[in-house]
Amino acid sequence: MPHLLAAGTWSGKGVLGPEALPPRPFLDLLTEYGSPWGLREEG
């Protein structure tokens, strides 16, 4: 999300894949936008 980069929540140098950034800020935004998420462990 561009606003996570603009706000400085996410930062880094070079080309980064999504796995290099902390997921919680993005997941919190999903909830704010009305798209709740959850974690299901299978095994």
Q: What are the pLDDT digits (tens) for 17-26?
A: 889 999 999 9
* pLDDT score recorded for residue 43: 81
Query: Do residues 26 and 4 make contact, with C-beta atoms less than 8 angstroms apart?
Result: yes
Amino acid at residue number 37: W
| pTM of structure | 0.69
Which pair of tokens denotes residue 36? 């709740």
Amino acid at residue number 20: A
